[in-house]
Structures are given as structure tokens and as C-alpha cells.
């Protein structure tokens, strides 16, 4: 799972696109999830570091989740995610 706080609109969009290109799925506006091996996760982290280099006000956290953690998650409320990214960054 990847969660992020990114102030810059363009950068936030680039990070979201990068995560999607790596096969992750959006579960909230600033949260993506997906099945990655350890080496894929390391590549993902390296790619994220490259993308955000030079920006401040960026915080990204990458959590390796177990299958059990994912299965036992509780979702409250409606799906607030719109795949039209342009609407998310407004």
C-alpha cells in the first residue's frame, strides 16, 4: 500500500499515474494498493524517490501489507474515488 501527502498538483498527478503504471489500484484519493514482490516494491520506491526529487512538501509512505491485513480491512462509507484524475486534483 502506498499513501501520500503531496501539495503540488502536477506532482501528485504524476505520482498517481506512476503508481497506476506499476499495477496498483486507487482505493482513495491519496492511497493505492497492489500486489508486488519485494523487488517490485524496491523498484517502486526507487521510482517514487526519482519522481519527487527536488520537491518539498512531499510525504509518501509505502507499507508492505500481508494478505490477511488486506482481507480484514473494514471499509466505511461510499466509494469516493473517481478515476477521472482531472477531477481529483481540483
Binding residues vs a second copy (CB under 8 A): 1, 3-5, 7, 27-31, 45, 48-49, 52, 55-66, 68-70, 72-81
Smallest distance from a second copy to CB 89, Å: 14
Dist CA 33 CA 20 (whole Å)? 9
- Minimum distance from residue 72 beta carbon to a second copy (Å): 5
Kindly report the backbone phi and psi dihedral angles of residue 66, in degrees, each rounded to the nearest multiple of 5, phi listed first.
Answer: -80, 160
d(CA 80, CA 88): 10
Tell me how far, at minimum, the Cβ of 78 lies from a second copy, in Å. 6
- Closer by beta carbon to a second copy, 21 or else 80: 80
- Give the strand pairing for 25-28 and 31-33: antiparallel
Amino acid at each position: 500500500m502506498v499513501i501520500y501527502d503531496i501539495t503540488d498538483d502536477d506532482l501528485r498527478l504524476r505520482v498517481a499515474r506512476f503508481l497506476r503504471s506499476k499495477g496498483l489500484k486507487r482505493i482513495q484519493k491519496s492511497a493505492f494498493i497492489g500486489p508486488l514482490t519485494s523487488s517490485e516494491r524496491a523498484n517502486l520506491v526507487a521510482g517514487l524517490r526519482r519522481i519527487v526529487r527536488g520537491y518539498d512538501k512531499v510525504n509518501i509512505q509505502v507499507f508492505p501489507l500481508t494478505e490477511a491485513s488486506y482481507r480484514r480491512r473494514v471499509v466505511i462509507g461510499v466509494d469516493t474515488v473517481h478515476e477521472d484524475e482531472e477531477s481529483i486534483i481540483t
